[in-house]
Amino acid sequence: MLSLLRAVRPRLSAGLCALLLSPAAFAINGYFLLGYGAKQLGMAGAGVALPQDRVVGALNPAGMALVAPGFDIGIGVMHPIRGAEIDCRGIGACDREVAESSRREIFAVPTMGYTRRLASGATLGVTLYANGGLNSTYDRALYDESIGRITGAVRGSTVQVDKLGVDFGQFVMAPSLSNTFGPVALGIGPLIQLQRFKAYGFGSFAGLSNAPDSLSDRGSEYLFGGGVRAGAIWTVLPTLRLGVSGSSPIYMEKSVKYNGLFAEDGGFDVPAHFTVGLALRLVPSLTLAFDYQKIFFADVGALGNPAPTAAEFLGNISKERRFGGSKGIGFGWRNQDVYRVGLLWQQSPRLQWRVGYSQNINQITTDAVLFNIPTPSVMAQKVTGGVTYEWTTGRAFSLGFMHGFANELRTTRSVLFGAPVKLEAGGEIVELSYHHDF
């Protein structure tokens, strides 16, 4: 492992610096990305049984044994659209709805992968990637303004800068060891994660927190964590592969700046998840890939614990249910099912085309819509496409594109004195990758 790290140190250093400076702020599946690298993106993330480059380590470490030694480097440009609305009209003194779209609509996220064959035939590899993230930057203090309009404390037009939002990103280094055993490839490796989080504009809920001074507006906090991922790919027939990959929770350090927001005194682990799928070669030039993924958001208290009831919102709440408590208020997320299908067409030895489609169930429950205004991750359907051109042997460029259809999630009656709330999200991603085989 030391020799591998020495060999790739310049690339790792550059890649890690770029990752740390670039937020992964487009919520696709909960806060996970749809795919990693241009090739996965072009097939809507499908690829647990179809490794195409060294970035497959972000999905299934077994795939690292089935791709050529080399490296991949890519950059994705994200264009998310996010918005929220609280319709408090007719409640108390409120005479207008409070609605805003999030600013900051362009984000860049790099990805890297590297593999090296050992004399034994095993493969050492490493993948650097942004696991996902969330960002919202509202110019209106949506919670404060809604309460102010209901009580009559706020009237007329009130638009201010950076009054409510979150900035959340997760960056992973995933070394791996993989090998083939007849028709089966196996891979395993640790997950080393750096997480950044910042929240502001939650001050209205200070009375619901065990540590109100650590609830909001504390600036950015960086935390480390670790976990493990393992996977397998079985070549059942020359035309059929089956794949499976599973990731443990990534156990993060507890938050200090936001232990009055996250349940369990600042706990915010990354949920466990698994993916199963197949790759079927329909004809020599056409391959179908299908993946099913399950993400266990509900197992992370900060995400899965219920949002407050109306009685709790009005102050009838126990210490353990307050923000930061042992069973503290969460964002009301449930476990999520993700379905992905993609087609790979080898038009010629140097030219490949990809298309894909993905759909997921919404992880946000309807009774938690109000508390997910800063995290409006409600996009459900995505279509993708992509192309790879090998301009010389072992040297290629890939382009991937995703369009996420705009989607809304509404609740007709929230705990904010019955005010209806709406979330909306959509957007696009374009990713360019360079592939270099040794």
**pLDDT for the residue 28:** 84
**Structural contact between residues 78 and 106, judged by C-beta atoms closer than 8 angstroms:** yes
Amino acid at 54: R
The predicted pLDDT at position 26 comes to 65
**Helix or strand run (H / E) with residue 241:** strand 240-247
Look at residues 126, 177, 170, 109 and name the one whose alpha carbon lies nearest to residue 9.
126
Could you tell me which residues come within 8 angstroms of residue 332 by beta carbon, excluding any fewer than 6 positions away?
304, 305, 306, 307, 364, 365, 367, 368, 371, 372
The ranges of the chain with pLDDT < 50 are: 1-15, 17-21
- CA geometry: angle 385, 391, 397, nearest 5 deg: 40
Q: pTM for this one?
A: 0.92
Query: Where residue 256 sits, what CATH number does that domain have?
Result: 2.40.160.60
Q: Strand runs (DSSP E) across 248-394, as ranges?
A: 251-252, 273-283, 286-295, 336-348, 351-360, 381-392
Domain that holds residue 22: 2-437
* Integer Cα distance of 98 and 140 in angstroms: 8
Q: CA 376, CA 161: separation in Å to the nearest integer? A: 19
Q: Render pLDDT for 47-63 as a digit per residue (tens, 0 to 9).
A: 999 999 999 999 999 99
Print burial letters for 290-308: b (CB count within 10 Å at least 16), e (below 16).
bbebebbbbebbbbbbbbb
- Position 165, amino acid: G
Residue 380 is predicted with a pLDDT of 94
Q: Report how many domains make up the chain.
A: 1
Contact criterion met (CB below 8 Å) for 65 and 391: no
What's residue 250's pLDDT?
97
Residues paired with residue 180 on neighbouring β-strands, in sequence order:
185
CA distance 211 to 67: 50
pLDDT digits 0-9 by tens, 206-254: 999 999 999 999 999 999 999 999 999 999 999 999 999 999 999 999 9
